[in-house]
Homo-oligomer: A and B are copies of this chain.
Amino acid sequence: MPLLVMKFGGTSVADLARIRGAAEKVAAEVARGHDVIVVVSAMAGKTNELVGWVGSISPLYDAREYDAVVASGENVTAGLMALTLQEMGIPARSWHGWQVPLRTTSAHGSARILEIPRTNIDAKFREGMKVAVVAGFQGLSPEGRITTLGRGGSDTTAVAFAAAFDAVRCDIYTDVDGVYTTDPRITRKARKLDRIAFEEMLELASLGAKVLQTRSVELAMRYSVPLRVLSSFEETLETSGTIVCAEEELMETNVVAGVAHSRDEAKVTLTHVQDRPGIAAAIFGPLADAGVNVDMIVQNISDGGQTDMTFSCPVDQVLRAERAMTEAMARGDISFDALVADTEVAKVSVVGIGMRSHAGVAARMFAALAAEGINIKVITTSEIKISVLIDRKYMELAVQALHDAFELHRPG
């Protein structure tokens, strides 16, 4: 019997009515002939309550106890979902992480999945169970303690189960109805994508699209698990949502799949840095140690043994960056004339696997921005992405111009 994994996030199971709505979607898949593994998050707000309690006892809490407390939120949802399915006449039972057992490393709070043995759950499917409801976000350490998987852990749990059980697909139910060519709040022309490649989704996720966590997309790509992102709050049709899949499974598509943006960026320039071997490490090592997430990096051509070094980071990390650089200079590790921070910039990116085979994407992008009089401050590129830093006030205009220039309102 084909097996489907369905994952419901916190807003999709926020109360008993929504749990029932989610259960009805599960029932529909059972009626279509699927065995189902349902992965659930904690009811919206519950995890925050638990995390708040732990944090207020001690900022330096024991991560093992944190995990034991916080994982209980998912356990409650799993039981309530199993009960709701049973009430609808569907043979279902709940599974806590340790019951599966979903084995993880001992890195409490951000454990990595080691193994999901199929034995226990498969035995119940053979006995007639139609739905295994699994508490997401949690596992069992080699020491027999409860672990949690950290940010995006429930999505990752779902994908890992889909890989372990050879699922036909992993459906991620959330509060949006799919992946869009760009943020629909910026342009009405934004179009829901029917399909997108894993690589494109990864770039979009890391560029600020909040639909899927990078980690779960990486895992799905590694194990070739097709993902579908769709809404908990709309009727599910064959065509609902967006399928995230391997490149080979895409039909001919647009060269560019989407336009992403990240509003709160800053550009920091160190002027007249001594240009010598090891200078990049001397600058970016201390920045990493200070917790500054450096994104784009540009180094000007050296002029008389000196250069300007420019990088971008989230705007709320600029002070931290300044402190780290000032301290590095005080220690004599680096030298520079001035640190110039521009905190009024944003990043706009175009992403598409079609770029690999189509030349001229960069030129078309720069022309579209130039036609609107938008100056480009920094450029970085990867095989399937081009990002530019621009004045923040032009961000929406840039997104709209690029969406038009690459004709993203038209299906590929």
| CB atoms of A83 and B98 under 8 A apart | no
Q: Which residue of B lies closest to A79 (CB)?
A: B69
Contact B69 A54 (CB under 8 A): no
* Tally of contact residues, A, Cβ under 8 A: 33
What is the CA–CA distance of A328 and B265 in the complex, to the nearest angstrom? 83
Chain copies in the assembled complex: 2
* Residues A57 and B84 in contact, CB atoms below 8 Å apart: yes
The CA-CA distance from A68 to B96 in the complex, in Å, is 9
Question: A73-111 toward B: CB 8 Å interface, digit per residue (1/0)?
Answer: 001101110111011000001101011000000000000
In the assembled complex, A62 has its CB within 8 A of some CB on chain B: yes
Please measure, in the bound complex, the distance between the C-alpha atom of A80 and the C-alpha atom of B58, giving whole angstroms: 10
With contact pairs A53-B16, A64-B93, A94-B65 given, residues A76 and B72 touching in the complex (Cβ less than 8 Å) = yes
The answer to whether A82 touches B65, judged by C-beta atoms less than 8 angstroms apart, is yes
**A223 close to chain B: CB less than 8 A:** no
Chain A stretch 54-68: residues in CB contact (< 8 A) with chain B:
54, 56-58, 61-62, 64-66, 68
Q: Is B80 within 8 A of A57, CB to CB?
A: yes
Q: Which residues of B contact A53 (CB under 8 A)?
A: 16, 76, 80
Check: A144 CB closer than 8 A to any chain B CB. Answer: yes
> Contacts A75-B72, A94-B65 known; A83 to B99 CB distance under 8 Å?
no
Give CA–CA (A62, B131) in the complex, Å: 15
Chain A residues in the interface with B (C-beta under 8 A)? 16, 50, 53-54, 56-58, 61-62, 64-66, 68-69, 72, 75-76, 78-80, 82-84, 86-87, 93-94, 96, 98-99, 144-146
Sample of 24 A–B contacts (CB below 8 Å): A16-B53, A16-B56, A54-B79, A54-B83, A57-B80, A58-B83, A61-B83, A61-B86, A61-B87, A62-B86, A64-B93, A65-B83, A65-B86, A65-B93, A66-B79, A66-B83, A68-B75, A68-B94, A69-B75, A69-B79, A69-B80, A69-B83, A72-B75, A99-B144
